[in-house]
Amino acid sequence: MRYGMVIDLKKCIGCYGCQTACKAEHWTSPGIFWARLIREESGKFPRVRLVNLPLLCMQCSHPLCVEVCPTGATARRIEDGIVTIKTDECMGCRACMTACPYGARYFSAKARDYFPGQGPFPFIPEHGDQPSAEIGVVQKCDFCLSTTRSDEGREPACVEVCMAKARYFGDLDDPESDLCRLISERKGFQLNAELGTDPSVFYLPDY
């Protein structure tokens, strides 16, 4: 099995819902985005388009971050292809952040609160989930593996929340899956494919 995601750029409306849902799921610190969105313009007035590009860890089949990790804290799981970080083995050298061509990894040197002195949010203790904002180690998206979602058979938070239904999650090894069908039919592509990282996140063109 190889977990993967397909993001339809034609459907994405740039609402930042994925970014916000990820925050709500993982309680990451200010400035840390396991899921994020960048918006760029294409063309010249009056023929111009606004391009919305959602980004997250690409869960590469040949991850450069794993190659450079000196402690083995970062590894790719054989059973489902998800790239994980063992925080108790990460020494915070940030070599993986330098190696990652997608800017998907974050490091928090010190605790930062959205409301100073109140933690990421004052009502977190009422929830079962605890902040993922660990200090001194690298962090990133793991397709919500670190939450109870996968046990409950739920999709990652960014997929579940997408109001435009622009995200698809599934098994890339299953040729009958929606992912494989969409990639085939719509000429899905990977970011920076020329680097040979073979990302598990595919994009469908916005035309």
Q: Rounded to the nearest 5°, which phi and psi values hold at 181?
A: -65, -45
Q: Any contact of residue 123 with other proteins (CB under 8 A)?
A: yes
Residue nearer to other proteins on the CB measure, 107 or 121: 121
Residue 9 interacts with other proteins (CB under 8 A)? no
Closer Cβ to other proteins, 65 or 157, answer by number:
157
| SS3 labels along 78-113 | CCCCCEEECCCCCCCCCHHHHHCCCCCCEECCCCCC
Tell me how far apart the alpha carbons of residues 81 and 88 are, in angstroms, rounded to a whole number.
21
Give the tokens for residue 41: 């313009």
- Told to check if 207 binds other proteins by CB under 8 A, we report no
Taking residues 142 to 181 in sequence order and writing x for each that binds other proteins by CB under 8 A, - otherwise, the string is ----------------------------------------
Site for other proteins in 58-117 (CB under 8 A): 114-115
Distance of CA 187 to the CA centre of its chain: 21
Give me the least distance between CB of 35 and other proteins, in Å please. 12
Q: Which of 88, 109, 110, 126 binds other proteins (CB under 8 A)?
A: 126
Q: Is the CB of residue 96 less than 8 Å from the CB of residue 105?
A: yes
Cross-strand pairs, 3: 171
Residue type, 46: P
**CA 89 to centroid of chain Cα atoms:** 21
* Listed residue (80, 106, 78) closest to 4, CA to CA: 80
Query: Where does this chain touch other proteins (CB under 8 A) — which range of 3-11, 88-96, 121-129, 153-161?
Result: 121-129
Residue ranges in 11-50 that form contacts with other proteins under rule CB under 8 A: 13-17, 19-20, 23, 30-31, 36-39, 41, 43-46, 48, 50
Contact between 63 and 76 under an 8 Å Cβ cutoff? The reply is yes
Q: Which residues bind other proteins (CB under 8 A)?
A: 13-17, 19-20, 23, 30-31, 36-39, 41, 43-46, 48, 50, 114-115, 122-123, 126
